[in-house]
Amino acid sequence: MRILQVLPELNSGGVERGTAELARYLVENGHESLVLSNGGRLVTTLEEQGSRHISLPVHKKSLFSLRHIPRLVRLLREEKPDILHLRSRAPAWLCYLAWKRLPKEERPRLVTTVHGLNSVNVYSAIMTAGERVICVSEAVKGYVTRNYPKVDGAKLTVIHRGIDPASYQSDFRPVDSWVDQWNKDFPETKGKKLLTLPGRITRLKGHEDFFQILRLVPDDHHGVIAGGAHPRKAAYLDELKNKAREMKLENRITFTGHRSDLREILAHSELVFSLSQTPEAFGRTTLEALSLGTPVVGYDDGGVAEILKTCFPQGATPFKDPGAASKLTLQLLESSPMIDAPGPFILENCLAQTVQVYRELLRQDP
């Protein structure tokens, strides 16, 4: 099969990683993998692993982006993919409109993946327009059926995201050279027990809840915010640092910026947190931390709740309740809880099930 995946950019984030993982899997299993995006730091890796990247500025949420539709029509005619897999709203609209311009007999089969619990409107509805719609959790499927009741439930498929157990083993520990470099880069963390909130710097990740928790734990614990800030979020990052100073936490919190060694950071941590202010569609870092043997305190909603229920139910705490999360944090720091991860959330399962969706769709009449 020839598969064309489309997303805004190839930098960091769950959609980007999922796209790259599927692209590698397709090549390893004899298929042709094409990825269309505005580019980014993952392009080199993608191409080294055998995929072909097509660069086009499909990432902008602007009416001016409609000018790319004729070029996308030509692209679909020239490349003739068997499957067009759309993963994000802005490029999905552009590609869908291009796809509709083709005669039915020239159209690739259309797959969309709903990665997030986005605002409910016409713009977001495009992610339900696929001939098959992949939902990354039961929470996402419930969101689609509740908010888009006209969508045929028969075309919805839940495929949980997953991780490679070989890369996230409970006995994994960072090598000494990594620890030495970490202590050199962040000397304020040396000798401390790390409490880590992973994720990009956005208002939805629960940083202020994390600050409230950190105020209540012993001083030998140090907070780590592992994630970068997009230039558009620079003002919010400054706001967070000011808030930390106001709460007298500036010496107990480290902002690492973007990191490519999150696995090592999670394994080096005493506890990891998932405090998103809106339900997570899946919660990959929760699963990664648990698979590494690091307990997670997470709000009991969305995809994170599904992971915790299966792998670590004692880590669930009421949604958006930092007080309850603080109490649970103190309890977990005093115990050695058992973790059963990754459970069924295995990358190989996710990728094989996605390819199966493609095969089934190609066997069906348009």
Q: Domain range holding 81? A: 2-162+346-363
Q: How many residues does the chain have?
A: 366
Task: State residue 145's pLDDT score.
Answer: 97
For residue 170, tell me if it sits in a domain.
Answer: no
Q: Please identify which residue in the block is written with the tokens 């928790």.
A: 213
Residue 350: Cβ within 10 Å count: 20
* Domain match, 66 and 147 both: yes
* Domain match, 206 and 278 both: yes
Task: State residue 365's pLDDT score.
Answer: 79
For residue 171, tell me if it sits in a domain.
Answer: no
Contacts with 238 (C-beta within 8 Å, 6 or more apart), sequence order: none
* Domain match, 184 and 155 both: no
Q: Please identify which residue in the block is written with the tokens 């990683």.
A: 17
Cβ proximity of 171 and 236 under 8 Å? no
For residue 338, tell me if it sits in a domain.
Answer: no
Give the separation between CA 298 and CA 58, rounded to whole angstroms: 34
Q: Using one digit for the tens of pLDDT, what is the confidence trace for 208-263?
A: 999 999 999 999 999 999 998 888 889 999 999 999 999 999 999 999 998 989 99
Task: State residue 230's pLDDT score.
Answer: 82
Q: Examine residue 57 and say whether the peptide bond preceding it is cis (omega within 30 degrees of 0).
A: no
For residue 309, tell me if it sits in a domain.
Answer: yes
Give the separation between CA 313 and CA 306, rounded to whole angstroms: 9
Strands 156-158 and 296-299, by their bridges, are unpaired
| Positions of the chain with pLDDT lower than 70, given as ranges | none
Task: State residue 274's pLDDT score.
Answer: 98
* Domain match, 251 and 357 both: no
* Domain match, 147 and 208 both: no
Task: State residue 218's pLDDT score.
Answer: 93
Task: State residue 256's pLDDT score.
Answer: 96
* Domain match, 186 and 311 both: yes
Q: What is the CATH number of the domain that holds 282?
A: 3.40.50.2000
* Domain match, 195 and 86 both: no
Task: Provide the CB-side half-sphere exposure for 343 (13 A, CA).
Answer: 19
For residue 207, tell me if it sits in a domain.
Answer: yes
Model-level pTM? Answer: 0.87
Q: What are all long-range contacts of 255-258, with beta carbons under 8 Å and residues at least 24 apart?
A: 255/225, 256/186, 256/224, 256/225, 256/226, 256/227, 257/227, 257/228, 257/229, 258/12, 258/227, 258/228
Task: State residue 61's pLDDT score.
Answer: 87
Task: State residue 226's pLDDT score.
Answer: 96
Q: Using one digit for the tens of pLDDT, what is the confidence trace for 71-123?
A: 999 999 999 999 999 999 999 999 999 999 999 999 999 999 999 999 999 99
Task: State residue 14's pLDDT score.
Answer: 81
* Domain match, 282 and 305 both: yes
For residue 292, tell me if it sits in a domain.
Answer: yes
* Domain match, 143 and 271 both: no
For residue 302, tell me if it sits in a domain.
Answer: yes
Q: What domain count does the chain have?
A: 2
* Domain match, 300 and 358 both: no
* Domain match, 133 and 13 both: yes
For residue 114, tell me if it sits in a domain.
Answer: yes
Phi-psi region of 233 (alpha: psi -120 to 50; beta: other; left: phi over 0): alpha
Residue 150: Cβ within 10 Å count: 6
Task: State residue 231's pLDDT score.
Answer: 85
- The angle subtended at Cα 364 by Cα 77 and Cα 132, nearest 5°, is 75
Task: State residue 149's pLDDT score.
Answer: 96
Strands 296-299 and 271-274, by their bridges, are parallel
* Domain match, 271 and 357 both: no
